[in-house]
């Protein structure tokens, strides 16, 4: 018995990295899987239909059920076809994992419109489009009297939530948007039995992170804190009919799962008369405000050479040339 027996799942960006691990685990746990991936380069350009098919074939050869889909999540018609593929191939859809991703890092002063649009288009618009296509299908099923547990797991990131990364204005904005979309969708879609959560992988070694200082080559199955499969058990649980959790964001680093608390209100000040800018400035100066650099530098502890990474980030925050070099090395 697998935890996903009888479930039919779509996993976007499942041809490489984290999504591939999700697809393999979902199949081992009994799900029928639509392996969606157009097979792009890390920056989202190009396409290679063999990438999704290779993962689908691996699943079938191990006795599982899988079909490949090469549509782009960035295309709303493609997003609809991804959902249709599940229904046509397997007769229904129960779980969606929005995992597809690209990266176009650059210092904000160098970032081109197309770099911003391409990243928002895959991560944020893509998550929206696939979610909407699935939600429309589930809304119709519910109206037809078919109500059961359905789930969406979105993929967020520390960049944009807990540890915004320099050179990722596009990616951080997209991932913060994914976190916000998750909470709103979890409220709206519960009427159709749909749970919506997000998982933020931290330092999983894939082609997107292989140049991050400190995410070193693997040290072997089970002992590798950066293995790309670390988020898959949580993603599978959140996608199972046995799970009741909704509206949450979890960060996963190695075997540690942390609940994300998101934006929350801290200390407050209230004027006994309408504020003047000057009075407000004086009152704000008394507050204990967090510099976004602090959680970022603290989070580097989880890399295997934190001091080297911290020195690089400190230099990048002061020196545009180092920031530029960081952008190209992180991509």
Ligand X SMILES: NC(=O)c1ccc[n+]([C@@H]2O[C@H](COP(=O)([O-])OP(=O)(O)OC[C@H]3O[C@@H](n4cnc5c(N)ncnc54)[C@H](O)[C@@H]3O)[C@@H](O)[C@H]2O)c1
Active site residues: 157, 171, 175
Binding mask 165-204 for ligand X (x = CB under 6 A): -----------------------------------xx-xx
Q: Which one among 3, 36, 239, 246 touches ligand X, defined by CB under 6 A?
A: 36
Smaller CB distance to ligand X: residue 97 or 141?
A: 97
End-to-end CA distance of the chain: 41
What phi and psi values does residue 164 have, to the nearest 5 degrees? -55, 130
How many positions of this chain bind ligand X (CB under 6 A)? 33
CB neighbours of residue 16 within 10 Å? 21
CB neighbours of residue 85 within 10 Å? 20
Binding mask 97-116 for ligand X (x = CB under 6 A): --xxxx--------------
| Residue 12 makes contact with ligand X by CB under 6 A | yes
Contact between residue 140 and residue 85 where contact means Cβ atoms under 8 Å apart: no
Binding mask 286-325 for ligand X (x = CB under 6 A): ----------------------------------------
Smaller CB distance to ligand X: residue 100 or 303?
A: 100
| Residue 64 makes contact with ligand X by CB under 6 A | no
Q: How far apart are CA 167 and CA 171, in angstroms?
A: 9
Say if residue 61 is exposed, middle or buried (CB neighbours under 10 Å; 0-12, 13-18, 19+).
exposed
Q: How far apart are CA 184 and CA 40, in angstroms?
A: 30
Query: Greatest CA span in the chain, whole angstroms?
Result: 72
| Residue 260 makes contact with ligand X by CB under 6 A | no
* Chain contacts with ligand X (rule: CB under 6 A): 12-13, 15-19, 36-40, 42, 44, 72-74, 99-102, 122, 126, 155, 157, 200-201, 203-204, 206-209
């Amino acid at each position: 018995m697998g935890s996903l027996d009888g479930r039919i799942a779509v996993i976007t960006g499942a041809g490489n990295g984290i999504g591939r691990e999700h697809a393999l685990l979902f199949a081992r746990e009994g799900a029928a899987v639509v392996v969606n991936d157009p097979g792009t380069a890390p920056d989202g350009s190009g396409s290679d239909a063999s990438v999704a098919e290779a993962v689908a074939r691996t699943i079938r050869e191990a006795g599982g059920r899988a079909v490949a889909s090469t549509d782009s999540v960035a295309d709303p018609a493609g997003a609809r076809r991804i959902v249709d593929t599940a229904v046509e191939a397997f007769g229904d859809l129960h779980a969606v994992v929005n995992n597809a991703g690209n990266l176009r890092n650059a210092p904000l002063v160098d970032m081109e419109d197309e770099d911003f649009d391409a990243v928002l288009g895959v991560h944020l618009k893509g998550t929206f489009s696939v979610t909407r296509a699935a939600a429309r299908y589930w809304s119709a099923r519910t109206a037809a009297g078919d109500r059961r547990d359905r789930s969406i797991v979105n993929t967020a990131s520390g960049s944009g939530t807990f540890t915004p990364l320099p050179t990722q204005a596009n990616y951080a904005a997209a991932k913060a948007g994914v976190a916000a979309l998750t909470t709103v969708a979890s409220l709206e879609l519960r009427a159709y039995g749909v749970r919506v959560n997000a998982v933020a992988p931290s330092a999983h070694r894939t082609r997107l992170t292989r140049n991050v200082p400190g995410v070193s080559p693997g040290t072997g199955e089970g002992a590798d804190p950066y293995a790309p499969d670390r988020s898959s058990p949580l993603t599978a649980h959140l996608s199972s009919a046995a799970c009741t959790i909704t509206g949450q964001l979890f960060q996963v680093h190695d075997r540690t799962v942390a609940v994300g608390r998101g934006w929350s209100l801290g200390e407050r000040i209230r004027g006994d008369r309408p504020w003047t800018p000057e009075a407000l400035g004086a009152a704000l100066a008394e507050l204990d405000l967090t510099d976004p650099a602090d959680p970022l530098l603290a989070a580097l502890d989880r890399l295997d050479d934190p001091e080297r990474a911290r020195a690089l980030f400190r230099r990048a925050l002061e020196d545009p040339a180092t920031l530029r070099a960081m952008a190209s090395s992180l991509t």
